[in-house]
Structure 1
Amino acid sequence: MRRRSLLLAVPAGLITLAGCGDEDSDKGKSSSSSSPSASAAPSAKIVDGPVPDITKGTKFGEKPTVAKGPGKPSSDLAVKTLIEGKGGKVAKGDYLQADYLGQIWDTAKVFDNSYDRGAPAIFPIGVGQVIPGWDQALVGKKIGSRVELAIPPELGYGKQGNPKAGIKGDSTLVFVVDVVDTFNAKSSAKGKTVSQDNIDLPKVGTNTDGKAPSIEIPKGKKAPKGLVSEYVLEGDGEEVKATDTVLVQYKGVLWENGKEFDSSYKRQELTQFGLQQVVKGWAQGLTGKKVGSRVLISIPPKLGYGDKPQPGSPIKKDSTMVFSVDILAKM
């Protein structure tokens, strides 16, 4: 049985395309009940068309304008790579970071797009967290690619459609997808190294090979009474807000003995959570820090689990927790 992260107060919801049309659909709210699962969908035959023309915004990263579908759509999954990227390939189980626009084949009605929100969406790909047409079409595509999809109903939202987004049970969906990046269990922060000169604070390793960094507790030093949050690697991404959901790698040890008690590296899976879902020390320690950074956080008991640590864990009510956190992306 997989051990649940000690970090999370409640599980963070995985985004799904089932929430398309809702402005908050890609901000950590799960709507998986209205989305066909990958396991329930047939394996698609993939063809290269037909797909509608893009009339404006033809460059990678530009919001596209897409024409109506040309006549009758294929009953198969149509996938056309418009721009071939030069990055690594998207793998099953990766967190895919992508900009996209979705519209209905025969009306060209746009029901959702990430471009207007000003940030790409991030979600697991190939594992049933998004509509099957996405899972089956995007695995294997290269980072930096622009891909156009025409998805038949059975690989989209099925016979029930998605009424909230104006999608009927017989609607063929058209998507233009810009593959921005991917993240997986081997991902690390890639920021600039920041000097760790304070001899009273733990030292965190600066390796960026996807392996867990070392955390060295200073010998003979008392734990700080207040919260400590310092860059180890400083990224150049957006600053994290208190209301954001983030995708991270992390490792936690106890100040008193340096013993590791939790680690996403050990589980070999990334962790996502809203800053309102975690202990106060995490929320306060990550707010204002930049995406792409590795951060040292030392959390006193009052900002951790207080007098109510999780039963059976090595964390006691007087334990100071020390974390290395790689902020990979904002969700």
Structure 2
Amino acid sequence: MRRLVVLALALASLTLAGCTAAPTDASPSVSPSGDISTITIGGSDTLAPSLEFTPGLTYAQEQSKVVWDGDGEYLQDGQPLLLDIYGASLDDGTTLINTYDGLPRSFLLAPEVVGEELYKTLLDVRVGARVLVVAPPSFGSDTEEPPIAMVIDVLPDHAVGTDVAPNPDLPTVTRARSGEPSVEIPQGDPPTDLQVATLIQGSGAQVKDGSYLTVQYTAWYWAKGKDKDGAWKKGDVMESSWPVDTAPFELQIGSGQVIRGLDEGLLDQTAGSQVMLVVPPSYGYADKGTLVFVVDILDVWNPEGSS
């Protein structure tokens, strides 16, 4: 599992924390002042939005505004964030970051991570919100970054959809307020074939061969056992992406990156869904016995050409 860092590398030059405004120049050559209210968000030929603005204006301070609020849960200080971000230079419109045509980025909602201005704005919105942010130029020892505008969509960090009636023969799943699942594994021998049960039916993009996914997941042992790494009890967690200092997991279906049970079991599911998979050793790990996975599919990106 990769650890959540303060800022994703691609955002290093875009962080709103510590941006320094351009020096004041009272000469007649100073560019006219710009304001966030003059920037318009439009559509494009891809999944990303577009930005319409007058290039070359001077932006003296950080600004943000809520384009629309969401209808999910209110954001809380310190919680994990999953964000789609489109950012462009306000000098010439050059795209600096675009996660819409790809996978979203994960952060923590803290001022030292996302910057004071964005932090204050996000504390007043709910999941599903769209925010527009403007940052003035930033100056380093030998670099000058242009003023930027970013469209930021707040995505759910757990499954969101319609509950599906559970299969009584499979483990029982309960969910904490945060969405994190736990399981109760039934008595008896596990099934010998891969079992797939949709617990929450999402309404997003469908998973295909070649799809890129962002997921939250936990895997539990069906029965006690041991291998070269140690012993475990029935119901122990083998691994999980849910701890707050761990980012959601990213994978590509059909690439051989993950075990056969996940590659096959997540096909045809949809973004927003929660799926339980009972994975026998032949579909997973021969030395770990049967595993129970609960997977929240947060985002699905189907690149051109995926089947």
246, 249, 252: which one aligns with 1:272:
249
The structure-2 alpha-carbon separation of the partners of 1:160 and 1:193, relative to structure 1 and needing over 3 Å to count, comes to farther
Q: Given that residues 193 and 279 in structure 2 are in contact (C-alpha distance below 8 angstroms), is that contact kept between their aligned partners in structure 1? A: yes
Whole-angstrom distance in 2 between the partners of 1:262 and 1:318: 9
Q: Given that residues 37 and 131 in structure 1 are in contact (C-alpha distance below 8 angstroms), is that contact kept between their aligned partners in structure 2? A: no
Whole-angstrom distance in 1 between the partners of 2:145 and 2:14: 18
Are residues 1:229 and 2:204 paired? no
Whole-angstrom distance in 1 between the partners of 2:19 and 2:76: 18
Q: Given that residues 83 and 147 in structure 1 are in contact (C-alpha distance below 8 angstroms), is that contact kept between their aligned partners in structure 2? A: yes
Deviation at 1:196, TM superposition (A): 0.9
Deviation at 1:214, TM superposition (A): 4.8
Are residues 1:73 and 2:59 paired? yes
Q: Secondary structure at the match of 2:263?
A: helix
Deviation at 1:246, TM superposition (A): 1.7
Whole-angstrom distance in 2 between the partners of 1:110 and 1:318: 46
Single out whichever of 244-253 and 262-271 deviates more from structure 2: 262-271
Deviation at 1:171, TM superposition (A): 1.5
The structure-2 alpha-carbon separation of the partners of 1:211 and 1:42, relative to structure 1 and needing over 3 Å to count, comes to closer
The structure-2 alpha-carbon separation of the partners of 1:227 and 1:42, relative to structure 1 and needing over 3 Å to count, comes to same
The structure-2 alpha-carbon separation of the partners of 1:273 and 1:14, relative to structure 1 and needing over 3 Å to count, comes to farther
Letter in 2 for 1:204: T
Are residues 1:152 and 2:136 paired? yes
Q: Given that residues 279 and 291 in structure 2 are in contact (C-alpha distance below 8 angstroms), is that contact kept between their aligned partners in structure 1? A: yes
> What are the residue-to-residue correspondences of 1:128-167 with 2, within 5 Å?
139-143=122-126, 144-154=128-138, 158=140
Deviation at 1:284, TM superposition (A): 2.5
The structure-2 alpha-carbon separation of the partners of 1:56 and 1:322, relative to structure 1 and needing over 3 Å to count, comes to closer
Are residues 1:181 and 2:155 paired? yes
Q: How does the TM-score come out when normalised to structure 2?
A: 0.67
Deviation at 1:180, TM superposition (A): 3.7
Whole-angstrom distance in 2 between the partners of 1:248 and 1:266: 6
The structure-2 alpha-carbon separation of the partners of 1:318 and 1:86, relative to structure 1 and needing over 3 Å to count, comes to closer
Q: Given that residues 249 and 328 in structure 1 are in contact (C-alpha distance below 8 angstroms), is that contact kept between their aligned partners in structure 2? A: no
2:178 matched residue in structure 1: 210
Unmatched runs of 5 consecutive residues or more in structure 1:
1-7, 20-31, 162-168, 307-316
Deviation at 1:321, TM superposition (A): 1.2
Q: Percent of aligned positions with the same letter in both sequences?
A: 20
Q: Given that residues 57 and 65 in structure 1 are in contact (C-alpha distance below 8 angstroms), is that contact kept between their aligned partners in structure 2? A: yes
59, 64, 69: which one aligns with 1:85:
69
Are residues 1:282 and 2:265 paired? no
Deviation at 1:302, TM superposition (A): 2.8
Q: Given that residues 295 and 324 in structure 1 are in contact (C-alpha distance below 8 angstroms), is that contact kept between their aligned partners in structure 2? A: yes
Whole-angstrom distance in 1 between the partners of 2:234 and 2:288: 15
Larger relative strand fraction:
2
Q: Given that residues 218 and 237 in structure 2 are in contact (C-alpha distance below 8 angstroms), is that contact kept between their aligned partners in structure 1? A: no
Q: Given that residues 241 and 248 in structure 2 are in contact (C-alpha distance below 8 angstroms), is that contact kept between their aligned partners in structure 1? A: no
1:325 matched residue in structure 2: 295
Unmatched runs of 5 consecutive residues or more in structure 2:
22-33, 225-232, 302-307
> What are the residue-to-residue correspondences of 1:1-331 with 2, within 5 Å?
11=2, 18-19=9-10, 35=12, 42=18, 50-51=35-36, 53-55=38-40, 57=42, 63-69=49-55, 71-74=57-60, 76-77=61-62, 79-81=63-65, 83-85=67-69, 87=71, 88-89=74-75, 91-100=77-86, 102-114=87-99, 117=101, 121-126=104-109, 139-143=122-126, 144-154=128-138, 158=140, 169-175=144-150, 177-183=151-157, 187-197=158-168, 199=169, 202-207=170-175, 209-210=177-178, 213-220=181-188, 222-241=189-208, 242-255=210-223, 258-262=234-238, 264=240, 267-268=243-244, 271-275=248-252, 276-306=256-286, 317=287, 319-330=289-300
Whole-angstrom distance in 2 between the partners of 1:273 and 1:329: 9
